[in-house]
Amino acid sequence: MIKELATNANKIEAKEPQFYCKEWLPIPTNSLAMISAPGGTGKSFLSIQLAIRIIAENPEHRVLLWLSEDPLYYTKDRINKIFNRITPHLIDKKEEILNNIDIIGADKQTIYFNELEKNQLKQLGDELVVNYNVVILDPLIAFYSGEENSNSEARAFMNILNRMAQDRLLSIVLIHHHNKGNGDGARTRGASAFVDAVRLLYTINTIKIEDDKKEIHPTKRKIKIEKDNWGVRQLLGVNEFEREILPYSIREVNIKEEESNDEGKERELNKKEKTKTFTKEELQNLTAYDIL
């Protein structure tokens, strides 16, 4: 049995790890990677931009964006904003790039991988590997129906994804939530087996002044390499870096809301200025035409 499993060291061919988006956000090919962040940090925007950049660099590839929480029209609006404001250098290739990206949104029923029978898993794996090179699942917990804090159940679920990635030569990127709390770092939600099963973990956080909660860059995010078995730190030469993730800032949204409020106040003021008020004595001496 062991002899059938083992390979002699002299017969193994050495290969350097291969990456998608090597200079922007390295994602190892044929492997399982995870990106974790607090809510509202821009995980979905990052997922979409990652898909766009992968196809821009590999026009013969195909990506599946499985964004289980977002309606399709909302995702398309985000796509347009990314092309217009973050990757305008790719806008001439927009249609060509989007031809190689498929999206599953909130309108479709989510598949719980851990509930599938063996033959169903094989069918799913066959469909994914035939049609796609990269699959992005957002968020991880939407595809897992087990007890979130159970390491044994989480390990079994992650083994399914790992086998799908390694045996079928498929790159899978999992988007995961942080636990609620203060401070930066890897505070991934649920069982530790989720993180144990991946060989590359990025976390995303807002960029803030030290010892202050105030955000100082509304469109950029700090990306930190929390777990690295692929040599990404050596590849990039850093442990954390910044990337433009959001196509618009919270500040811009606030300004628009303030402008809208100012317009509303101005309309109310104009109404008041145009409204005539009269004393009881004046009314007695006015006709209906005077009031109008």
Q: What is the DSSP string of 14-70?
A: P----EESTTTS-EETTSEEEEEE-TTSSHHHHHHHHHHHHHHH-TT--EEEEETTS
Q: In this structure, are residues 143 and 178 in contact, taking their beta carbons and an 8 Å threshold?
A: no
What is the model's pLDDT at position 123? 93
Q: In this structure, are residues 172 and 135 in contact, taking their beta carbons and an 8 Å threshold?
A: yes
Three-state DSSP class for residue 201 = strand
Tell me how far CA of residue 253 lies from CA of 84, 182, 209, in angstroms: 17, 25, 21
Alpha-carbon distance of 6 to 10, in angstroms, equals 12
CATH superfamily of 15-248: P-loop containing nucleotide triphosphate hydrolases (3.40.50.300)
The token pair at 107 is: 């309108």
The token pair at 266 is: 């101005």
Alpha-carbon distance of 14 to 238, in angstroms, equals 25
What is the model's pLDDT at position 272? 46
What is the model's pLDDT at position 256? 46
What is the model's pLDDT at position 178? 80
Whether the bond into 38 is cis, omega within 30 of 0: no
Encode pLDDT of 53-110 as tens digits.
999 999 999 999 999 999 999 999 999 999 999 999 999 999 999 999 999 999 998 8
pTM of this structure: 0.80
- CA dihedral over 144, 129, 200, 136, signed as positive or negative: negative
Q: In this structure, are residues 232 and 218 in contact, taking their beta carbons and an 8 Å threshold?
A: no
What does the domain layout of the chain look like in residue ranges? 15-248, 256-291
Those residues of the chain that have pLDDT short of 50 are 182, 185, 250-251, 253-257, 260, 271-278, 283-292
What is the model's pLDDT at position 188? 75
